């Protein structure tokens, strides 16, 4: 006997069809949007390469100012970071100026990456050069592969292009973009000077392989990681930062030296790459000790040139429950973070605390 569907069943069928149609429409809209983004970025990139370097810098400044005034959330993060990090060293007006200038530097960094296709061995020194030519020779001629490290400070893109052009290409980890059409554009820009780009998935394996086969690598050291990721806790600007330890891990596994550098402005509108003393640590050094020492090379430079650090980034995602220091509004309290801080403060308890940390991490992953 045939049963006619009930009104409720018919309604469910219609709702399912509507839902599928909506998802299909959203996917089509996303594809069209991604295609438009690709056309705009590709066209804009070609335009940027035709412009004078000074004009590109002014465009970067304008873009940074627009982002500063248009992105209220990012502006709030940057101002909060500056307040807790530099405190009374800057008044509110100065903090706004530094936050805006920081985004302008980032805007320049972005646009100058497109412009970097015009750089050659014969003209690159007109735009960016090493502060000490001897340091450049050491890097280029080194028979030992090294781990180049830097915070998000100054024009990192042009510094990388300079080293590649001078004959020392690097292996660089780069996160694919949500719009997959754009990823090859930025990969090709960075690889144009000889660098090799790898993705974060299994990046450690790729970096280890590179160092062991004689290739040098580059890493950012100020990446703040979430609790599900392996990290170490260091002191930055008097506050606890949960940051990447991959450079410390690679150093201990391979013995390759750590080479810290920063990019600073030149008086003529160009840039200087300052290479700091190479770092080597005894085999028994902890990842935390290595990471902290690396950071200590950079913090005084950031304090002296605050305009050039990426303040809009959430550098302090977590705050301890027991310490009285003031953290940014976005910092969260976490049992796991407290355990990690305690393990660092009391090494004799590290073994017991490590098990508690693993248990809490498993519980956290199950919740997610």
307 has pLDDT over 60: yes
The residue ranking higher by pLDDT, 298 or 35, is 298
- Decide if 66 contacts 121 (C-beta within 8 A): no
Q: What mean pLDDT is predicted for residues 249-266?
A: 96
Percentage of residues of the chain with pLDDT beyond 70: 86
- With b meaning 16 or more CB within 10 Å and e meaning fewer, what string describes 88-117? eebeeeebbebbbbbbbbbbbbbbbbbbbb
Confidence of residue 247 (pLDDT cuts 50, 70, 90): very high
C-alpha span between 212 and 209 (Å, rounded): 5
Paired sense of beta strands 147-150 and 170-173, if any: unpaired
Q: What is the pLDDT of residue 29?
A: 72
C-alpha span between 364 and 249 (Å, rounded): 25
The domain segmentation of the chain, as residue ranges, is 21-111, 121-319, 334-368
Percentage of residues of the chain with pLDDT beyond 90: 66
Token digits for 84?
A: 């807790």
Question: Beta-strand (E) ranges in 99-142?
Answer: 128-130
pLDDT mean across residues, the chain? 88
Q: What is the pLDDT of residue 42?
A: 87
- Decide if 39 contacts 104 (C-beta within 8 A): no
Q: Among positive and negative, which fits the CA dihedral 145, 146, 147, 149?
A: negative
CA proximity to 218, closest of 272, 280, 145: 145
CA proximity to 248, closest of 236, 231, 261: 231
Q: What mean pLDDT is predicted for residues 148-176?
A: 93
Confidence of residue 242 (pLDDT cuts 50, 70, 90): very high
C-alpha span between 107 and 67 (Å, rounded): 9
Question: Beta-strand (E) ranges in the chain?
Answer: 128-130, 147-150, 170-173, 196-198, 216-220, 232-236, 239-243, 258-265, 271-275
Q: What is the pLDDT of residue 148?
A: 97
77 has pLDDT over 90: yes
C-alpha span between 227 and 364 (Å, rounded): 9
pLDDT digits (tens, 9 = 90+) for 21-57: 565 557 677 777 878 888 888 898 899 999 999 999 9
Q: Which residue has the tokens 């302008």?
A: 104
CA proximity to 158, closest of 125, 199, 188, 207: 125
200 has pLDDT over 80: yes
Q: What is the pLDDT of residue 58?
A: 96
pLDDT digits (tens, 9 = 90+) for 102-138: 999 999 999 999 999 999 999 999 999 999 999 999 9
The residue ranking higher by pLDDT, 268 or 361, is 268
- Decide if 245 contacts 230 (C-beta within 8 A): yes
Q: What is the pLDDT of residue 199?
A: 86
Largest CA distance in the chain: 92
- Decide if 129 contacts 270 (C-beta within 8 A): yes
């Amino acid at each position: 006997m045939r049963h006619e569907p009930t009104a409720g069943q018919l309604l469910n069928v219609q709702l399912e069809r509507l839902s599928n149609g909506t998802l299909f429409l959203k996917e089509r809209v996303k594809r069209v949007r991604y295609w438009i983004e690709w056309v705009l970025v590709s066209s804009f990139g070609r335009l940027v390469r035709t412009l004078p370097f000074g004009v590109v810098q002014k465009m970067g400044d304008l873009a940074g100012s627009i982002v500063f005034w248009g992105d209220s959330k990012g502006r709030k993060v940057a101002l909060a970071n500056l307040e807790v990090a530099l405190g009374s060293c800057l008044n509110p007006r100065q903090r706004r100026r530094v936050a805006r200038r920081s985004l302008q530097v980032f805007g320049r960094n972005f646009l100058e990456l497109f412009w970097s296709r015009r750089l050659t061995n014969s003209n690159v020194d007109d735009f960016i050069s090493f502060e000490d030519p001897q340091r450049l020779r050491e890097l280029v001629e080194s028979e030992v592969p090294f781990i180049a490290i830097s915070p998000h400070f100054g024009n990192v893109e042009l510094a990388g292009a300079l080293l590649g052009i001078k004959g020392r290409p690097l292996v660089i980890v780069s996160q694919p973009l949500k719009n997959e059409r754009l990823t090859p554009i930025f990969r090709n820009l960075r690889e144009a000077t000889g660098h090799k780009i790898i993705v974060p998935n299994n990046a450690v394996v790729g970096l280890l392989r590179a160092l062991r086969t004689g290739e040098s690598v580059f890493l950012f050291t100020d990446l703040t990681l979430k609790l599900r990721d392996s990290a170490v806790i260091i002191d930055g600007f008097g506050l606890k930062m949960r940051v990447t330890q991959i450079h410390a891990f690679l150093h201990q596994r391979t013995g390759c030296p750590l080479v810290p550098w920063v990019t600073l402005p030149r008086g003529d509108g160009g840039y200087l790459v300052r290479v700091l003393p190479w770092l080597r640590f005894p085999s028994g050094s902890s990842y935390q000790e290595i990471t902290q020492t690396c950071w200590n090379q950079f913090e005084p430079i950031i304090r002296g040139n605050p305009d050039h650090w990426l303040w809009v980034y959430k550098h302090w995602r977590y705050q301890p429950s027991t310490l009285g220091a003031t953290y940014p509004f976005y910092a969260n309290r976490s049992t796991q973070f407290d355990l990690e801080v305690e393990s660092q403060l009391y090494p004799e308890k590290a073994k017991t605390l490590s098990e508690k940390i693993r248990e809490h991490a498993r519980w956290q992953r199950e919740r997610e």
